[in-house]
């Protein structure tokens, strides 16, 4: 044992003191100690192992420092959340392999084990060190500090093979710390079967490698050496695939791919989801080269490899995760990763519409990052000089067109065509599509332009084969034809263009109409009309900022259903109280002047009206809930104003209570 000093929070010392008072001993363990020797900084993760103390005593003691969650009674693992820190606190435990997979273990806490015996279950020597918090002594039974100094990753003992996940941990540690793996550890790793592992555990190790390593390529080289690639054939296929030395003097696709992910790691910005898309996009970007690479006229070509890489990228990712948003984004990055270079090469002929359409498919800044990593991940002169004008040019163009950080939204919407007198139907969707294409090309830039174009287009004649002549088109119109002639009432009954839904097919925001105005899909049974014909909600005209976007899913649906039922209950209470107050005032159940009866009747009327509004609002929220197949829903912000009625509830109830109290005192006086 060696005496050293670690920078640890004062609260951790207080916890250790409390443990010692009960007869226990607290050690910092695992990555907490390892990271101290690697960086010298105060540990971010605080893992504490407690010896010579029963689980019940430890749990009771920890409750004095914050919220305690017992992960597993037989494991003896606690999560302590205090106002200052988060701790993983555990008892030493025995683990015996009983079956396949990460759940095939018998685990039993044993607080009377000694430190060396407890450390035998650890994976690598660098993770098997400990620090006595109060004694300030360092314990290293398996020479982990020596391996840290020599940058060697070595397993602790023969029980290493009980958990196949340790192969991937070796991969990500090698990448994160730039360590070599001991030959005897490599031999053990090559005999482990990763098929036992659930995909979530595979994903977590790749995630740590790609998000934490400065040079993730070292982890991939370790994976190659450890035999991991046989479980990921999309990666293995990159090895020895030749490339044209003019464009890729660095070597084969595997070599290039490693350089690309190292370059991508330099572009991470701390946004985990964006960084994951970037890193997996870089990792998968050339998955299409193995099936497309061939020697043509003395040069290696990979024609069509961007599109060919989409399917293997999805196969690779689905082997580890079902995060559809991540998978779809990576697929798009793979398909488009050469687009910045193509656009820049033809910049004299490229239209604004091409860039706007690109922004609809992918985030341009994210795409530029992947393309830049691809460009710098080679040894050509311009890459060595760190020159990538294509990326800078595309970002500048996107900024000018205002699509760098957001997608262009349609100017002309279905409600505008309805205001012109057009009846909803598939033809409306065709007109809106054409208008949006013109907008992307810069030929429509404002609503007044869009309305002028739409009015002219509508009276010109058929817009598709389903319309035989212009008379059919005119038949879809109904007066009034101009917005200024329409009813100016700020409310609309349900079924009017005031309320928004989402198309079941394309997910676009649509009005309450039989057909989607974007794709023409018929909206069967979207709303039980008999429930909602009387509902009125405020509408704010053409102001797109008055719409609030709400992500839809099971939790949102359940929340909306609960809100609907709660509103009905509150409405019923309003009716009940209003009826009681009204009857009391009319029958004469209260004492006092006629003025008090009038006040009670007024309050009863207000509560009755409020109850009526709340009852209608409950139907509105039910309406939202029934669109359970939509990916997202747009709700008029005016509906949010209904929350004001809940505030009125409390005000009126307060008035009632004050009046009842006052009248009782008056009557008894």
pLDDT (tens digit, 9 = 90+) per residue, 175-190? 999 999 999 999 999 9
pLDDT for the residue 145 = 94
DSSP state of 408: P
656 in Cβ contact with 577 (< 8 Å)? yes
pLDDT for the residue 15 = 95
pLDDT for the residue 270 = 93
CA dist., res. 49 & res. 57, Å (int): 14
Share of the chain above pLDDT 90, in %: 55
CA dist., res. 31 & res. 67, Å (int): 23
Q: Is the pLDDT of residue 562 over 50?
A: yes
pLDDT for the residue 546 = 30
| β-strand partners of 51 | 25
What b/e sequence results for 538-549 when a residue is b if at least 16 CB atoms lie within 10 Å of its CB, and e otherwise?
Answer: bbeeeeeeeeee
Q: Which residue has the higher pLDDT, 349 or 648?
A: 349
> Which pLDDT band, with edges at 50, 70 and 90, does 618 fall under?
low
pLDDT for the residue 657 = 57
Q: Is the pLDDT of residue 152 over 70?
A: yes
5 in Cβ contact with 133 (< 8 Å)? no
CA dist., res. 396 & res. 186, Å (int): 48
Q: Is 646 exposed, middle or buried (0-12, 13-18, 19+ CB in 10 A)?
A: middle
Which positions ≥6 away from 655 have C-beta within 8 Å? 603
The least confident of 64-73, 91-100, 442-451, 475-484 is: 475-484
CA dist., res. 273 & res. 263, Å (int): 18
> Which pLDDT band, with edges at 50, 70 and 90, does 611 fall under?
confident
Q: Which residue has the higher pLDDT, 275 or 69?
A: 275
* Interval 360-370 mean pLDDT: 96
Q: In the chain, what is the straight-line distance between the N-terminal and C-terminal CA atoms, in Å?
A: 85
Q: Is the pLDDT of residue 53 over 90?
A: yes
Q: Is the pLDDT of residue 41 over 80?
A: no
pLDDT for the residue 662 = 67
* Interval 253-276 mean pLDDT: 97
pLDDT for the residue 97 = 65
Instruction: Please identify which residue in the block is written with the tokens 């020596």.
Output: 146
Q: Is the pLDDT of residue 218 over 70?
A: yes
pLDDT for the residue 68 = 92
pLDDT for the residue 480 = 29
- What mean pLDDT value characterizes the chain? 79
The torsion of the CA quartet 432, 435, 440, 441, rounded to 10 degrees, works out to 150
pLDDT for the residue 80 = 93
Tokens of 78: 């606690």
Question: 630-645: per-residue pLDDT in tens?
Answer: 323 333 333 444 555 5
Question: 76-125: per-residue pLDDT in tens?
Answer: 889 999 888 889 999 998 877 666 655 556 678 889 999 999 999 999 99
**48 by DSSP, 3-state: which?**
strand
> Which pLDDT band, with edges at 50, 70 and 90, does 310 fall under?
very high
CA dist., res. 352 & res. 397, Å (int): 8
The least confident of 198-212, 549-563, 652-666 is: 549-563
> Which pLDDT band, with edges at 50, 70 and 90, does 39 fall under?
confident
Measuring CA to CA, how many Å separate 222 from each of 189, 202, 262?
11, 15, 15
Q: Which residue has the higher pLDDT, 554 or 267?
A: 267
**105 by DSSP, 3-state: which?**
strand
Tokens of 210: 């790609």
175 in Cβ contact with 279 (< 8 Å)? no
* Pairing, β 46-51 against β 25-29: antiparallel
Secondary element (H or E) of residue 328: helix 324-336
* Interval 599-608 mean pLDDT: 79
pLDDT for the residue 631 = 28
The residue among 251, 184, 261 whose CA lies nearest residue 218 is: 261
**Spacing of C-alpha 509 from chain mean position:** 21
Q: Is the pLDDT of residue 398 over 70?
A: yes
Measuring CA to CA, how many Å separate 402 from each of 337, 352, 359, 627?
21, 11, 10, 33
pLDDT for the residue 499 = 40
The least confident of 191-205, 427-441, 523-537 is: 523-537
The residue among 173, 180, 163 whose CA lies nearest residue 205 is: 173
The least confident of 143-157, 305-319, 602-616 is: 602-616
Q: Is the pLDDT of residue 232 over 90?
A: yes
**232 by DSSP, 3-state: which?**
coil
Q: Is the pLDDT of residue 360 over 50?
A: yes
pLDDT for the residue 215 = 97
262 in Cβ contact with 216 (< 8 Å)? yes
pLDDT for the residue 669 = 53
Q: Is the pLDDT of residue 584 over 60?
A: yes
Q: Is the pLDDT of residue 509 over 90?
A: no
Q: Which residue has the higher pLDDT, 611 or 378?
A: 378
pLDDT for the residue 656 = 66
Q: Is the pLDDT of residue 522 over 70?
A: no
What beta strand segments (E) does 450-557 contain? Answer: 491-493, 500-502, 509-511, 536-538, 547-551
């Amino acid at each position: 044992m060696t005496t050293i000093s670690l920078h640890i929070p004062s609260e951790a010392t207080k916890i250790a003191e409390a443990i010692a008072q009960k007869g226990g001993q607290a050690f910092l363990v695992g990555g907490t100690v390892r990271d101290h020797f690697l960086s010298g900084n105060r540990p971010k993760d605080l893992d504490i192992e407690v010896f010579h103390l029963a689980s019940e005593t430890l749990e009771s003691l920890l409750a004095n420092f914050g919220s305690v969650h017992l992960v597993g009674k037989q494991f003896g693992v606690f999560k302590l959340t205090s106002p200052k820190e988060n701790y993983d606190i555990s008892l030493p435990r025995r683990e015996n392999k009983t079956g396949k997979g990460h759940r095939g273990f018998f685990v039993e806490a044993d607080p009377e084990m000694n430190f060396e015996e407890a450390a035998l279950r650890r994976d690598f020597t660098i993770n098997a060190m400990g620090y006595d918090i109060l004694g300030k002594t360092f314990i290293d039974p398996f020479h982990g500090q020596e391996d840290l100094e020599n940058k060697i990753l070595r397993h602790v003992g023969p029980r290493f093979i009980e958990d196949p996940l340790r192969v991937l941990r070796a991969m990500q540690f090698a990448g994160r710390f730039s360590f070599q793996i001991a030959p005897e550890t490599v031999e053990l790793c090559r005999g482990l079967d990763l098929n036992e592992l659930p995909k979530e555990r595979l994903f977590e190790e790749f995630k740590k490698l790609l998000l934490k390593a400065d040079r993730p390529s070292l982890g991939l080289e370790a994976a190659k050496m450890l035999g991991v690639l046989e479980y990921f054939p999309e990666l293995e296929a990159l090895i020895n695939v030749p490339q044209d030395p003019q464009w890729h003097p660095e070597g084969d696709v595997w070599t290039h791919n490693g350089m690309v992910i190292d370059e991508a790691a330099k572009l991470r910005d701390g946004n985990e989801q964006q960084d994951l898309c970037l890193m997996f996009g870089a990792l998968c970007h050339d998955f299409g080269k193995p099936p497309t690479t061939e020697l043509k006229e003395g040069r290696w070509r990979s024609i069509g490899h961007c599109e060919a890489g989409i399917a293997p990228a999805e196969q690779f990712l689905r082997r580890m995760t079902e995060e559809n948003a991540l998978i779809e984004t990576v697929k798009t990055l793979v398909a488009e990763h050469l687009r910045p270079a193509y656009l820049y090469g033809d910049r004299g002929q490229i239209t604004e519409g091409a860039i706007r359409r690109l922004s609809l498919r992918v985030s341009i800044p994210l795409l530029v990052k992947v393309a830049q990593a691809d460009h710098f991940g080679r040894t050509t002169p311009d890459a060595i000089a760190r020159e990538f004008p294509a990326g800078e040019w595309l970002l500048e163009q996107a900024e000018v067109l205002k699509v760098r950080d957001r997608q262009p939204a349609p100017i002309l919407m279905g409600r505008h065509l309805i205001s012109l007198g057009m009846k909803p139907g598939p033809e409306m969707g065709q007109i809106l599509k054409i208008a949006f294409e013109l907008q992307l090309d810069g030929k429509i830039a404002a609503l007044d332009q869009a309305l002028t174009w739409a009015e002219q287009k509508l009276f010109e004649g058929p817009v598709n084969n389903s319309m035989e002549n212009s008379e059919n088109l005119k038949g879809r119109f109904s007066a009034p034809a101009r917005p200024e002639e329409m009813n100016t009432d700020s409310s609309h009954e349900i079924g009017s263009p005031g309320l928004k839904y989402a198309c079941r097919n394309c997910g676009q925001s649509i009005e309450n109409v039989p057909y989607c105005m974007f794709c023409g899909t018929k909206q069967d049974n979207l709303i039980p009309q008999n429930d909602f014909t009387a509902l009125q909600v405020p509408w704010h005209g053409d102001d797109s900022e008055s719409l609030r976007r709400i992500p839809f899913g099971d939790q949102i649906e359940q929340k909306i259903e609960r809100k609907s039922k709660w509103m009905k209950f509150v409405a019923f209470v309003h009716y009940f109280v209003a009826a009681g107050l009204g009857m009391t005032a009319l029958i004469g159940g209260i004492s006092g002047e006629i003025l008090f009866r009038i006040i009670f009747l007024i309050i009863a009327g207000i509560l009755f009206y409020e109850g009526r509004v709340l009852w209608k609002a409950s139907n509105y929220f039910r309406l939202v809930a029934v669109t359970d197949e939509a990916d997202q829903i747009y709700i008029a912000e005016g509906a949010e104003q209904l929350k004001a009625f809940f505030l009125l509830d409390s005000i009126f109830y307060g008035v009632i209570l004050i009046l009842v109290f006052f009248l009782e005192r008056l009557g008894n006086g």
